[in-house]
């Protein structure tokens, strides 16, 4: 597993670090700020300080939270240190001493109290479904079914993201899948709690969601959010002390499987697109091929790669709750990725993550960069609609 929520081995990792600096190559924070003190090597020095002397300054703490948890430094580390696990554990120890950023504490408290990142009433998780104006879909909430579409807080509660769960729900319906959604009974996957340094609180979320899925007889859990996917697949078994009885898939994997089995009818989408690998789906979960397979199956679609793609893909700047502590740095990182996308002459940037889409889209608007943005589910939905229109 990549990125353990609780990782006791700080001393060993701090000693293993050779201070070589290879981890700085492609670190978006180091590239964005250009200071050694912002580099992963400097974060390892701070780790050493905490592990052996137990004390950090406010500046040290701020530096540790200036990180998108993108995993690039883990790829380039010459000593093969699981850096993301180290950064998560450092956040945990800081939060345990109540020294973490105030808005991270607020986020963790909101999840604990309301079961979502927005601090909304749980019944608001039905709004995206109600907005579809489709009684048959609404009836699926809380029904027994083989497949659970786990929407996640962003998809369920932020109107600018509704398009993604709505597109995926239309695909599921057209495919004839036996699926359900939890609606107001869904709770945050808990992933943002790890980034906020409070992984112990994930247990409550995991227990609730796993029990809800079991009660509906679910066998496969599918998410459109890579962080939910990573939490269900990798964090839950670790936190709950054993495998969960579900197959866990990201939507791109489910789509790839359905397309390969010839169960989805795809029509033409004449567009040049580039694919942005979300860090939590790609480097942090190892899913690179399925999204590309799906895109390559859409008739008329031309997929072009950015200079950095796959395991080298640059971060969008939206990970690790960075935007909550340093929005200006998120902007710098997002712009660098947008310039790469622009260089491909693609019309649309496709991703498999609502957070990547939101971050890139928002920053493109601010910088007046003329690109379109789509989630992979939205593109497949368009392709299926094009097929139907041609019948």
Question: Counting Cβ atoms within 10 Å, is residue 369 exposed (0-12), middle (13-18) or buried (19+)?
Answer: middle
Identity of the residue, 22 or 387, whose beta carbon is nearer to ligand SF4 in the bound complex: 22
CB of 17 to ligand SF4, least distance (A): 3
As a residue count, the chain comes to 391
What's the number of CA atoms in the CB half-sphere (13 Å) around residue 237? 12
CA end-to-end distance (rounded Å), the chain: 45
197 alpha carbon, distance to own chain's centre: 17
Identity of the residue, 25 or 240, whose beta carbon is nearer to ligand SF4 in the bound complex: 25
Ordered DSSP codes for 141-183: BT---SEEEE--HHHHH-GGGTHHHHHHHHHHHHHT--EEB-G
CB of 352 to ligand SF4, least distance (A): 19
What is the token pair recorded at 303?
């997929």
| Alpha carbon distance 356, 197 (integer Å) | 22
What is the token pair recorded at 329?
């740095």
CB of 18 to ligand SF4, least distance (A): 4
What are the strands, taking DSSP E only, across the chain? Answer: 147-150, 179-180, 220-223, 247-250, 271-275, 301-304, 348-351, 372-375
Identity of the residue, 31 or 186, whose beta carbon is nearer to ligand SF4 in the bound complex: 31
Phi, psi angles (nearest 5°) of residue 200: -60, -30
CB of 354 to ligand SF4, least distance (A): 20
Identity of the residue, 157 or 329, whose beta carbon is nearer to ligand SF4 in the bound complex: 329
Interacting residues with ligand SF4 (CB under 6 A): 17-23, 27-29, 40-41, 43-44, 67-73, 77-79, 81, 83-84
Identity of the residue, 27 or 380, whose beta carbon is nearer to ligand SF4 in the bound complex: 27
Question: Counting Cβ atoms within 10 Å, is residue 40 exposed (0-12), middle (13-18) or buried (19+)?
Answer: buried
CB of 192 to ligand SF4, least distance (A): 16
Identity of the residue, 47 or 117, whose beta carbon is nearer to ligand SF4 in the bound complex: 47
CB of 338 to ligand SF4, least distance (A): 17
88 alpha carbon, distance to own chain's centre: 15
Identity of the residue, 72 or 151, whose beta carbon is nearer to ligand SF4 in the bound complex: 72
Identity of the residue, 40 or 282, whose beta carbon is nearer to ligand SF4 in the bound complex: 40
What is the token pair recorded at 51?
């592990």
Identity of the residue, 16 or 260, whose beta carbon is nearer to ligand SF4 in the bound complex: 16
Closest CA to 79 of 12, 27, 1: 12
CB of 21 to ligand SF4, least distance (A): 5
What is the token pair recorded at 210?
């796993």
| Alpha carbon distance 191, 208 (integer Å) | 14
CB of 333 to ligand SF4, least distance (A): 8
CB of 90 to ligand SF4, least distance (A): 11
Q: Looking at the DSSP assignment, which residues form a beta bridge with residue 273?
A: 303, 348
């Amino acid at each position: 597993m990549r990125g353990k929520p609780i990782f006791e081995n700080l001393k060993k990792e701090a000693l293993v670090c050779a201070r070589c600096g290879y981890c700085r190559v492609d670190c978006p924070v180091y590239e964005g700020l250009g200071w050694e003190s912002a580099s992963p090597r400097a974060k390892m020095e701070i780790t050493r300080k905490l592990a052996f002397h137990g004390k950090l300054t406010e500046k040290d703490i701020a530096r540790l939270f200036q990180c998108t948890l993108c995993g690039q430094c883990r790829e380039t580390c010459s000593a093969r240190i699981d850096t993301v696990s180290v950064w998560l554990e450092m956040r945990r120890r800081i939060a345990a001493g109540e020294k973490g950023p105030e808005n991270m504490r607020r986020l963790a408290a909101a999840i604990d109290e309301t079961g979502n990142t927005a601090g909304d009433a749980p019944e608001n998780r039905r709004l995206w479904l109600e907005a579809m104006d489709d009684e048959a879909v609404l009836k699926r909430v809380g029904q027994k079914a083989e497949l659970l579409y786990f929407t996640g807080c962003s998809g369920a509660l932020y109107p600018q993201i509704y398009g993604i769960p709505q597109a995926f729900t239309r695909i599921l319906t057209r495919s004839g899948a036996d699926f359900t959604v939890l609606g107001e009974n869904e709770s945050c996957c808990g992933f943002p709690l790890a980034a906020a340094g409070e992984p112990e609180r994930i247990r409550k979320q995991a227990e609730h969601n796993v029990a809800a899925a079991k009660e509906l007889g679910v066998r496969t859990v599918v998410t459109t959010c890579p962080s939910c996917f990573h939490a269900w697949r990798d964090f839950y078994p670790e936190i709950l002390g054993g495998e969960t009885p579900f197959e866990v898939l990201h939507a791109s994997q489910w789509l790839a499987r359905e397309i390969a089995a010839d169960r989805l009818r795809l029509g033409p989408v004449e567009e040049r697109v580039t694919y942005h690998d979300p860090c939590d789906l790609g480097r942090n979960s190892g899913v690179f091929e399925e999204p590309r397979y799906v895109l390559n199956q859409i008739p008329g679609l031309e997929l072009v790669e950015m200079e950095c793609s796959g395991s080298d893909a640059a971060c969008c700047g939206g990970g690790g709750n960075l935007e909550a502590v340093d929005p200006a740095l998120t902007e710098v990182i997002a712009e660098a990725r947008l310039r790469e996308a622009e260089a491909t002459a693609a019309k649309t940037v496709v991703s498999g993550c609502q957070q990547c889409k939101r971050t890139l889209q928002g920053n493109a608007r601010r910088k007046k960069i003329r690109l379109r943005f789509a989630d992979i589910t939205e593109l497949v939905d368009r392709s299926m609609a094009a097929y139907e229109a041609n019948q």
